[in-house]
């Protein structure tokens, strides 16, 4: 079934790159930054960019099946939700909810950094989930790490999936069936190696308060249909993800080849930060201070070099040179705006996995 979706805080559209193979159709984008907007216009000239999402009341009426976006997490109270939805300017999380209220898509996908779980002592995220319930959406959330989906970086993000009136469908997207049935399969002993933490929960619409936080056993589906094993710990409210394999290290063209293993580095002082390439950052983070870098072992010395924009595109799962568009009367874009746009983007493989799961649930698989 073809889904029609509206994307807000669109950036360079990881969702559309991920969901194009599914045959889904973007109704419109909502992006105000000049360079990402130019990338959207270059790749998707037939899809309108409705611009500032705070002006959603001026947008045309459309029938959409899914709303997707990642907004800043800002404080608001569920008690004041209905009044807040009348004029949500200045709080993009409320604006996202108001857009959902106006268009009433049956599916929602919302993404944010893991810090959202502790913002305001957890109250900010809790009120967002509660607001989804107030609007009639059942929801589930889970932390996914891009390194377990085939890219060479640690990038943990919180994903919330909502379904109008049905938390079980939302949970079926993010969790395996036995976990949703509250009968998780026994986990195997955790393996050594890099691990990304995973936590999640589900709730019905109405109250928006999770009756339980489920510990789940997950898995990552590979391109050949097989699944990578994962293990979830037994600590209440969260777990620890382990895997039998790591994503392959990127190999750039010719003289820019990066040898395995690749070490994440801090751009300020070159200090090693991890055994997987450093996550692409947003403006102000160390990985973008002088451009994302990697450290590679060469004989007995270490050499530090800057990641190329193409490597950053691969780290996020985009096609090579996806962001290399004509820009400001020049045939190619400079590195700076490409780094920034890629650092702000969602990881394509994670969005592809979520889209595939939504498609399966939507058709009743």
Residues marked active site are found at: 73
Q: Which residue in this structure is represented by tokens 């559209």?
A: 13
Q: Quote the tokens at residue 251.
A: 């190999």
Asked if residues 331 and 128 have their Cβ atoms less than 8 Å apart, the reply is no
56: left (phi over 0), alpha (psi -120 to 50) or beta: alpha
Q: Which residues contact 269 (CB under 8 A, 6 or more apart)?
A: none
Decide: helix, strand or coil at residue 159: strand
Burial class, 185, CB count within 10 angstroms (exposed 0-12 / middle 13-18 / buried 19+): exposed
- Which residues face 157 on adjacent strands? 144
Q: CA–CA separation, 274 vs 294, rounded Å?
A: 10
Cβ neighbours of residue 271 closer than 8 Å, sequence gap 6 or more: 265
């Amino acid at each position: 079934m073809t889904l029609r979706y509206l994307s807000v805080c669109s950036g360079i559209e990881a969702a559309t790159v991920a969901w194009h193979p599914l045959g889904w159709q973007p109704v419109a984008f909502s992006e105000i930054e000049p360079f990402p907007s130019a990338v959207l216009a270059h790749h998707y000239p037939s899809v309108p960019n409705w611009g500032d999402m705070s002006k959603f009341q001026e947008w045309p009426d459309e029938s959409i099946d899914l709303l997707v976006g990642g907004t800043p997490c800002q404080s608001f109270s569920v008690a004041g939700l209905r009044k807040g939805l009348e004029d949500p300017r200045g709080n993009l999380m409320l604006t996202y909810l108001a857009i959902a209220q106006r268009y009433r898509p049956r599916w929602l996908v919302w993404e944010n950094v893991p810090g959202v779980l502790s913002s305001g002592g957890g109250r900010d995220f809790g009120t967002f989930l509660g607001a989804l319930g107030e609007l009639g959406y059942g929801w589930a959330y889970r932390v996914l790490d891009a390194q377990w989906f085939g890219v060479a970086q640690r990038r943990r993000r919180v994903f919330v999936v909502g379904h109008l009136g049905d938390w079980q469908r939302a949970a079926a997207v993010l969790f395996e069936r036995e976990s949703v049935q509250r009968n998780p399969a026994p986990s195997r002993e955790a393996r050594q190696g890099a691990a990304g933490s995973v936590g999640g929960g589900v709730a019905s619409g109405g109250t928006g308060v999770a009756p339980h936080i489920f510990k789940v056993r997950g898995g990552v589906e590979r391109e050949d249909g097989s699944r990578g094993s994962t293990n979830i710990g037994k600590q209440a409210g969260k777990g620890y993800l382990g895997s039998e394999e790591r994503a392959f290290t990127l190999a750039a063209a010719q003289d820019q080849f990066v040898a395995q293993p690749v070490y994440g580095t801090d751009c300020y002082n070159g200090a090693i930060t991890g055994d997987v390439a450093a996550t692409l950052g947003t403006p102000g983070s160390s990985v973008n201070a002088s451009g994302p870098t990697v450290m590679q072992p060469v004989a007995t010395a270490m050499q530090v070099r800057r990641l190329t924009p193409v490597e950053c595109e691969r780290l996020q799962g985009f096609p090579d040179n996806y962001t290399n568009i004509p820009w400001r009367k020049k045939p190619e874009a400079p590195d700076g705006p490409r780094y920034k746009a890629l650092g702000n983007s969602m990881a394509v493989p994670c969005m592809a996995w979520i889209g595939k799961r939504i498609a399966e649930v939507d058709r009743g698989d």
